[in-house]
Structure 1
Amino acid sequence: MGQELLKEVPKLKEWPHFNGEGEYDHMNFIRGIGMIKEDFELQHRLVTARFNTLFTRSAHRWYIKFRQAPGHQSWTWWKIQIINKLANDAWRLKVETAFEYAKFHANKDKALPWFCHKKDRLTELYPDTSEFMIHRMIIRQCGGDLEHSVKSSTTEQSSAEDIINILEEVTTRTRIGYSRVNLKTRCNTLCKDSVHKNPKGNSNNAE
């Protein structure tokens, strides 16, 4: 690795850190470290020597215990251990369950963060699945009339941004996706606001 390139290596605080407690932060960590290693042509030891700082909280406790037996190992070896430790059947079941549970509710969910979170989960679970199928799986989580409206407005070429815009438009324009309880509450609120804004309205009508 050239000295000029070495000078450009990000400072330690700018590297991805890993606490081992997120749904898929282990995959984000692996991708982030891999990009830095490749971009700056870093040797394995220049990466793994930073682990004592990059691993935090529960991941750090695991790293300290796990490192004692094998000693120094390459980044490739550590990457496999992280995947074996966290990307297991229990993790997969947890993420799948979370995906299925998080249906879209227009009264409490915003289209952009909801869609992006769902896509992140599916991308980690099924990295070889086409984007079209990922999008279809997400749309199914809308359910009922909302699912039908969004699906009928999209094509195989629709991007994530297209689908998010359609989801926002449908729920805003038609109110599809709002629960009945929420609509009743919303109506009551609007009625109360109207009374407060025009408290003399009834007396004026009586006159």
Structure 2
Amino acid sequence: MQDQFKSDYVILKDELKNVRLSHSSGAADTSSRASANYSPGTHTSAPGRTADASIRHELQKQLVNAITKSDWPKLSGQVEYNHMDFVHWIDTARRDSHVPDEVIVLKLLTILEGVALIWYKTMCMTFHTNKWTFWRGAICQKFGTTNWKRKKQYTFDQDKFVPGETPVAEWVTRQYKRLQAFEPNGSAELVNFCLLGLMSGEVEYKAKKAMPSLDLDISTLINVLEDIVDKTRPGRTKYRQAITTPAPKSDGDNDSGKKPLSEVKCFVCKKYRHTFRNCKKTIGVMSEEIVDMPT
């Protein structure tokens, strides 16, 4: 068996050697042909460079087609919009696929909606340019107003973190985007400080204790919060209702069901404001019976 493996290895080694030799001879032939065709005063591109340029051109074409057919983000300029996500997505697509500005600007007619589309059409009547940098700046200036930042800050402050109510990553990412709207240059420490301030005291204490430092990106905070929620379930303890001892009843409470004295009637003398036990007639009769008793 070992002899067979050795023989197979030798055969494979020889084949690889032949491939290398054939590749080297092909490259040498290509080089010699290129040298033979070269003459002073003339410039001819090497076949390898031509092939590489063709490949790059085809790749570029496929990238542009792919990015053009993909789902682009929408911007309406209404409700809780975020134009920064909009422009950042286009910036990334432009950088990675080298999509031309003409394609991006033409795409604005389909990805802008509502108020944003009306504004864009009005701007196009005045500014005739296909430069994305121009329209990027115009969009940021139009929709990044002070009022928009104030609304983002208010929404940020109202959206508290409740363990188990919203997935941790979703809440942190959503709040991070809102924070970037009115504090775009905030440090990682400031971001974590603001996010921790939207939690209950128990969760905030556990998160600060688990994080080695506040000067870390939000991925660390997400991991810490997910670990806290999964293991300890803070904020979900159901407290027992406190058992309250009823207050002792006073004498007035015991007499609350009795009739007032003005309505009490003696069935002996038929008069009000006393009972038969306190009636003078009854007392007189009992006294006479005691006197008449034989000794």
Q: TM-score range by the shorter chain?
A: 0.7 to 0.9
State the secondary structure of the residue aligned to 2:98: coil
What residue in structure 2 maps to residue 60 of structure 1?
117
Find out whether 1:155 has 2:212 as its counterpart: yes
For this pair of structures, how many residues does the alignment match? 183
Find out whether 1:126 has 2:183 as its counterpart: yes
Q: 1:145 to 1:70 in 2, by over 3 A?
A: same
The runs of 5 or more residues in structure 1 that have no matched partner are: 189-207
What residue in structure 2 maps to residue 104 of structure 1?
161
AA matched with 1:108: E
Contact 1:18 1:25 in 2 (8 A): no
Q: 1:78, CA displacement in angstroms? A: 0.6
The runs of 5 or more residues in structure 2 that have no matched partner are: 1-52, 242-295
Q: Of 117, 127, 143, which aligns to 1:86?
A: 143
Q: Distance in 2 between matches of 1:108 and 1:40?
A: 39
Q: 1:92, CA displacement in angstroms? A: 0.5
Find out whether 1:33 has 2:90 as its counterpart: yes
Q: Distance in 1 between matches of 2:93 and 2:133?
A: 14
Q: Distance in 2 between matches of 1:105 and 1:148?
A: 14
CA-based RMSD: 2.9
Matches within 5 A, 1:1-207: 3-4=57-58, 5-9=60-64, 10-14=66-70, 16-20=72-76, 21=78, 23-106=80-163, 108-156=165-213, 159-178=217-236, 183=238
Q: Distance in 2 between matches of 1:39 and 1:162?
A: 27
Q: Distance in 2 between matches of 1:89 and 1:158?
A: 29
AA matched with 2:167: K
State the secondary structure of the residue aligned to 2:118: helix
- Taking every aligned residue pair, what percent have the same amino acid on both sides? 21
CA deviations on 1:75-101 (whole Å, 9 max, x unpaired) are 111111100111110110011111111
Contact 1:95 1:121 in 2 (8 A): yes
Q: 1:175 to 1:81 in 2, by over 3 A?
A: same
Q: Distance in 2 between matches of 1:86 and 1:149?
A: 38
Contact 2:149 2:181 in 1 (8 A): no
Q: Which protein, 1 or 2, shows the higher relative CO under an 8 Å CA cutoff with sep ≥ 6?
A: 1
Larger Rg: 2
TM-score normalised to structure 2 length: 0.54
Q: 1:53, CA displacement in angstroms? A: 1.8
AA matched with 1:117: R
Contact 2:168 2:225 in 1 (8 A): yes
